[in-house]
Amino acid sequence: MKLETLGWNNFFEACFTPYSGKGLLPGRISIQHKDRYIVLSEKGEVNGKVSGKFRFEVKGLHNFPAVGDWVVFEIDSGDQSAVIHHVLERRSKFSRKVAGDRPEEQVLAANIDIVFLVMGLDGNYNLRRLERYLTAVQESEVRSVIVLNKSDLCSHLEECTKEVLTIAHGVNVVVMSALRAEDVAPIRSLLTPGITGVLLGSSGVGKSTITNQLLGKEHSQVQSVRETDSHGRHTTPHRELLVLPNGGIIIDTPGLRELQLWSGEEGVQDSFDDIEELAVHCRFRDCKHEAEPNCAVKQALEDGSLDPGRYEGFQKLQRESHVQTTSHDKNLQQQRKDREKKIVKQINDKFRDREKQ
Ligand SMILES: Nc1nc2c(ncn2[C@@H]2O[C@H](COP(=O)(O)OP(=O)(O)O)[C@@H](O)[C@H]2O)c(=O)[nH]1
Ligand SMILES: [Mg+2]
Ligand SMILES: [Zn+2]
């Protein structure tokens, strides 16, 4: 495996200079599972762990290796595993906030060139959510592309596409069905050799199906939409970095529930992706989660997996923001964002207080 194939360039070369010539090698993290990593490098694919010194000295979860990171490692002469000594500077990253007394940043994917925001043109379709993620990604200054998948299931394709274009503000929009191999061509053409893309979107929107089409083989596990646990959650576990036959690199991720984007101090707790993901499983596409039959949100409330406070906040937000969904007025959008943040903060504070008791 040549380093360039993995996305190596002058930037990382410069970052690596202080370490070169000491039996140390650069490699890229393709999988992270707890404290175990898979490192891709000129030595091929190697299992690895951070060194004892690293674990002892490095403070903060976000300074540990993440998928997409370039690391400096050495091959253990005993078991031939990779001993990771350093993480090279990141050019870009996507993080989430992990719950706890003091919320911590956890990096989920690093050194990304293009983010593909995938939305399903089925029950998953939600213009407001797309708009919010677009804003979050644009703050990260990584190029974004909107992917509207499952076009084969959409009866009003033109309408949806037009609507999305009104919020896209120049961002490319790909309309496709991942069931057709030829439809991934626009994505493939953006992932030129050495360029790293990440697929973000709710679980079930087709990210793994797209990954498999790009790879030209079944690799990522595709889930049946009904194959969820009692909380309506998919079981697909891993984020994984994969090198494509044409030289591009793609990171497949699980649902957005896991990928709450972190932006600065506050983090993007100001969203209800967990509820929106549940809503995908409601019987009716326009379910208001009130008195409708087979409502997945109500069901989660009943079995206790959804907090009533979060549900109330979600409903409140839905009512308040309904009218402004397609507004282009920047001022209004800002006002809405501020209000959303305030509401969510109130709820989260309340929720936290209750958990403390
Ligand atoms: N009809 C249709 N089904 C799709 C499409 N893309 C994915 N699926 C199906 O949607 C389900 C979830 O796909 P998957 O790739 O696992 O979604 P992920 O959770 O985002 O990785 C699977 O049953 C796929 O076969 C599409 O474009 N059209
Ligand atoms: Mg998947
Ligand atoms: Zn519902």
Statement to judge: residues 237 and 149 lie in one domain: yes
Q: Is the CB of 41 under 6 A from ligand 1?
A: no
Establish if 238 belongs to a structural domain: yes
Residue 205 Cα: closest atom of ligand 1: 20
Note the ligand closest to the C-alpha atom of 224. Answer: 1
Statement to judge: residues 167 and 210 lie in one domain: yes
Q: Is the CB of 51 under 6 A from ligand 1?
A: no
Establish if 268 belongs to a structural domain: no
Instruction: Give me the helices (H) in 143-272, please.
Output: 157-168, 185-190, 207-215
Q: Which residues contact 234 (CB under 8 A, 6 or more apart)?
A: 203, 204, 223, 227, 228, 254, 255
d(CA 278, ligand 3 centre) in Å: 8
Q: How far is CA 264 from CA 257, 285, 348, in A?
A: 19, 34, 18
Residue 236 Cα: closest atom of ligand 1: 19
Residue 248 tokens, joined: 């591009």
d(CA 208, ligand 1 centre) in Å: 7
Q: Which residues contact 15 (CB under 8 A, 6 or more apart)?
A: 70, 88, 89
| SS3 state at 70 | strand
pLDDT given at position 307: 81
Say how far apart CA 238 and CA 251 lie, in whole Å. 10
Q: Which domain holds residue 26?
A: 3-89
Statement to judge: residues 116 and 248 lie in one domain: yes
Statement to judge: residues 53 and 121 lie in one domain: no
Residue 324 tokens, joined: 């402004």
25 and 41 in contact (C-beta within 8 Å)?
Answer: yes
d(CA 327, ligand 2 centre) in Å: 32
pLDDT given at position 259: 46
Q: Is the CB of 253 under 6 A from ligand 1?
A: no
239 and 196 in contact (C-beta within 8 Å)?
Answer: no
d(CA 292, ligand 3 centre) in Å: 7
pLDDT given at position 99: 62
Task: Look at the chain and report how many structural domains it folds into.
Answer: 3
pLDDT given at position 341: 64
pLDDT given at position 37: 96
Statement to judge: residues 115 and 230 lie in one domain: yes
Establish if 344 belongs to a structural domain: yes
Statement to judge: residues 57 and 113 lie in one domain: no
Q: What is the pLDDT along the chain (357 residues), one digit of tens a residue?
A: 899 999 999 999 999 999 988 899 999 999 998 899 999 999 999 999 999 999 999 998 999 999 999 999 999 999 999 999 999 999 888 887 776 667 778 888 999 999 999 999 988 888 877 887 787 777 677 889 999 999 999 988 999 999 999 888 888 999 999 999 999 999 999 999 999 999 988 888 999 999 999 999 888 777 654 444 333 444 445 789 999 999 999 999 886 554 455 443 333 334 566 787 788 888 887 888 988 999 999 999 998 888 887 788 777 766 654 433 333 445 555 665 666 566 666 655 655 565 555
Query: What is 293-338 written as a DSSP string?
Result: TT-HHHHHHHTTSS-HHHHHHHHHHHHHHGGGTT---HHHHHHHHH
d(CA 242, ligand 3 centre) in Å: 36
Instruction: Give me the helices (H) in the chain, please.
Output: 10-16, 52-57, 127-139, 157-168, 185-190, 207-215, 273-279, 296-302, 308-321, 330-356
225 CB neighbour count, 10 Å cutoff: 15
Query: Which residue has a Cα nearest atom 26 of ligand 1?
Result: 150
Establish if 267 belongs to a structural domain: no
DSSP state of 283: S
Statement to judge: residues 138 and 234 lie in one domain: yes
- The CATH code of the domain that includes 204 is 3.40.50.300
Note the ligand closest to the C-alpha atom of 152. Answer: 1
Considering all CA atoms of the chain, what is the largest pairwise distance in Å, rounded to the nearest integer? 67
- Of the residues 43, 60, 89, the one at which a domain ends: 89
Establish if 264 belongs to a structural domain: no
Statement to judge: residues 235 and 287 lie in one domain: no
Query: Which residue has a Cα nearest atom 1 of ligand 1?
Result: 150
Statement to judge: residues 46 and 143 lie in one domain: no
Statement to judge: residues 132 and 74 lie in one domain: no
